[in-house]
Amino acid sequence: MKLTQNNLQAREKLNFRPAQFYKEQHVRGKWGCDQCDTLTQQAIPAYIIEKGIATPELLSHVLVSKYADHLPLYRQRQIFLRAGVDLSRSTLSDWIGRCGVELERLTDTLKK
């Protein structure tokens, strides 16, 4: 029997890749002027929580998990611990509060 392209069948399978945590490192350039002795440094990207460790993507994941998926913070903490990330419930709660304050401007605009 000769195999031809007509005898092949394609099968699709649904797979799952769990969320992955990774660290981002942002390196900012710093330049100095020899003539006027001034330093210039590249601006920091804007974040929702200044000087915090959470990116906007992580914050949105926590918010969607809490409000859309009804996943309490203590369960989210357990999920994060299984992935090797130790975040306290108070930290997660603080993030939710800060995001709420930042989102007030958006809700006020949407109400208008």
pLDDT at 1 over 60: no
Query: What pLDDT does residue 78 have?
Result: 96
Q: Identify the burial level of 54 via C-beta atoms within 10 angstroms of its C-beta, where 0-12 means exposed, 13-18 middle and 19 or more buried.
A: buried
Average pLDDT over residues 3-14: 70
The phi and psi torsions of 81 (rounded to 5 degrees) equal -60, -40
pLDDT at 50 over 90: no
Distance (Å, whole) CA 66 – CA 53: 19
Distance (Å, whole) CA 75 – CA 82: 11
Virtual torsion, Cα 9, 14, 15, 18, nearest 10 deg: 160
